[in-house]
C-alpha cells in the first residue's frame, strides 16, 4: 500500500519517525533503548498495537500535539488510511488560510 502513488503523495508531506520498541538498529546507536521506547509508547500513547500510526505536530521543546491516530494496526482500509493522512493536511491548510486572512485584515486595518 505504501508504494501506491496516492499514498506516497500524502506520506511525502510528512516527516517519517519510527519508534523501535523491540530492537533499535545499530545504525541509530547511540540513542534510546527499545525498552525506553516501549515505555514512551505505552505511557504517551497508551497503546500496545503494532504497527501503530500517529500524526504529531511538534510545538518545540520536546512537546507535540497529536493530530491524528489510525486505530487499526494492520491497514486493510485504503480509503480510511488515506483519510487519516489527508484530514490533518486539510486542517493545516485551512488554518494557514485563516491566519493569512487575519494578517491581511490586520495589515489593512493598520493603514491610514
Task: Report pLDDT for 108.
Answer: 56
In this structure, what C-alpha cell is assigned to residue 30?
Answer: 547511540
Best CA proximity match to 67, nearest among 86, 43, 47, 39: 86
- Is 49 in a helix, a strand, or coil? coil
Task: Report pLDDT for 112.
Answer: 42
Taking the alpha carbons at both ends of the chain, their separation in whole angstroms is: 56
Task: Report pLDDT for 1.
Answer: 82
User: What pTM was estimated for this model as a whole?
Assistant: 0.77
Best CA proximity match to 78, nearest among 6, 24, 23: 6
Task: Report pLDDT for 11.
Answer: 94
Residue 71 CA to residue 108 CA, distance in Å, equals 45
Residue 66 CA to residue 18 CA, distance in Å, equals 15
- Per run of 10 residues, the mean pLDDT along the chain (length 112 residues) is 90 92 91 93 91 92 92 90 94 78 61 43
**E-state strands within the chain:** 53-60, 63-70
Domain boundaries, the chain: 5-110
Amino acid at each position: 500500500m505504501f508504494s501506491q502513488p496516492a499514498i506516497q503523495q500524502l506520506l511525502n508531506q510528512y516527516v517519517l519517525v519510527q519508534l523501535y520498541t523491540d530492537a533499535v538498529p545499530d545504525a541509530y546507536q547511540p540513542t534510546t533503548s527499545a525498552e525506553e521506547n516501549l515505555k514512551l509508547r505505552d505511557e504517551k500513547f497508551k497503546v500496545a498495537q503494532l504497527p501503530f500510526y500517529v500524526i504529531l505536530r511538534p510545538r518545540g521543546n520536546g512537546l507535540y500535539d497529536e493530530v491524528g491516530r489510525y486505530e487499526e494496526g494492520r491497514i486493510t482500509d485504503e480509503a480510511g488510511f488515506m483519510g487519516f493522512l489527508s484530514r490533518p493536511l486539510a486542517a493545516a491548510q485551512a488554518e494557514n488560510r485563516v491566519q493569512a486572512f487575519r494578517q491581511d485584515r490586520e495589515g489593512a486595518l493598520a493603514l491610514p
